[in-house]
Amino acid sequence: MAGNNPNAKPMNLTLRVWRQKNRTSPGQLVDYKANGISPDMSFLEMLDVVNEDLLRAGQDPIAFDHDCREGICGMCSLYINGRAHGPERGTTTCQLHMRHFSDGDTITIEPWRAAAFPVHKDLVVDRSAFDRIQQAGGYISVNTGGIPDANVIPIPKTVADKAFDAATCIGCGACVAACKNASAMLFVSAKVSQLAMLPQGKTERKTRVENMVAQMDLEGFGACTNTGACAAECPVGISLENINMLRREFISAKASSENV
């Protein structure tokens, strides 16, 4: 039963899914059949169907992270056929639809792979390292209340728009999963750039970049070797320019470090 296309034909697929009981046990790829899949389904709805079948058969369903299913919360995180969030550019897993696959396909589904993102179970990974990086400095130190009127500081539209572009990072971790070094540079640079561009964020720009980079290193993310794989797979198009900006911020911060 398709949305507007009475001719959409259901597909039969084979899934090769990473199953892993918990953080410490080893995992493996297991094959499942996904039959009668409508091209109008989202990728996660396809997994729902498979899981319902598993449940009815008394088997443990496949665990995967998801929440908004609208491409904005950053919770979904599947590595599909060797690509973070699958084959469509600029698309999160939850916004990927089955019409991009064909009848008879075999689809391999794995979790994000990175030392800093250990697997909790099956396709669910622990991304708390990202939160700790933000806690290290991804904020402007203002308390609630006592703030002057919002229009006291005009911000040129071009600056506000660029800061917005950087601010749209959904924290999904696809950049890390796509990078052969498992580097988190794109993620970190998005926040550093957003706040460094805005007048409100300039006061703390030096300590911010130093502390966030230090935390990133501490978490065990790899070094950036400029492959650009991160930006190519980023579902919201965070640009590599941000990494350049992070580098400039970092160098100038170190040159006159306030972190002594």
Under the binding rule (CB under 6 A), the answer on residue 94 touching ligand SF4 is no
Given 35, 102, 135, 259, the residue binding another protein (CB under 8 A):
135
Residue 6: which of ligand FES, ligand SF4, another protein, none does it interact with, CB under 5 to 8 A by kind? another protein
Which of 44, 136, 175, 224 is the binder for ligand SF4 (CB under 6 A)? 175
Range 211-250, binding ligand SF4 (CB under 6 A): 234-236, 238
Task: Report if residue 187 touches ligand SF4, rule: CB under 6 A.
Answer: yes
> Mask of contacts with another protein, 161-190, x by CB under 8 A?
x-xx--xx-xx-------------------
> In this complex, which beta carbon is closest to ligand FES, that of residue 62 or of residue 94?
94
Residue 45 CA, distance from chain mean position: 20
DSSP, collapsed to helix, strand or coil, labels residue 114 as coil
CB 164 within 8 A of CB 74: no
What part of residues 59-98 is at the interface with ligand FES (CB under 6 A)? 66-69, 71-76, 92-94
Cα–Cα dist 124/63, whole Å: 6
Strand 11-19 versus strand 119-121 pairing type: unpaired
Is the CB of residue 62 less than 8 Å from the CB of residue 141?
A: no
Nearer to ligand SF4, 39 or 71 (CB): 71
Q: Which does 186 bind (CB under 5 to 8 A by kind): another protein, ligand SF4, ligand FES, none?
A: ligand SF4
By CB under 6 A, residue 236 contacts ligand FES: no
Residue type, 187: F
Longest Cα pair distance anywhere in the chain, in angstroms? Answer: 68
Residues 6 or more apart whose CB falls under 8 angstroms from that of 212 comprise 133, 134, 136, 137, 138, 188, 191, 192
**Contact by Cβ (8 Å): 8, 40:** yes
In the complex, least distance from residue 138 CB atom to ligand SF4, rounded to whole angstroms? 12
- Which residues of the shown chain bind ligand FES in the complex (CB under 6 A)? 66-69, 71-76, 92-94
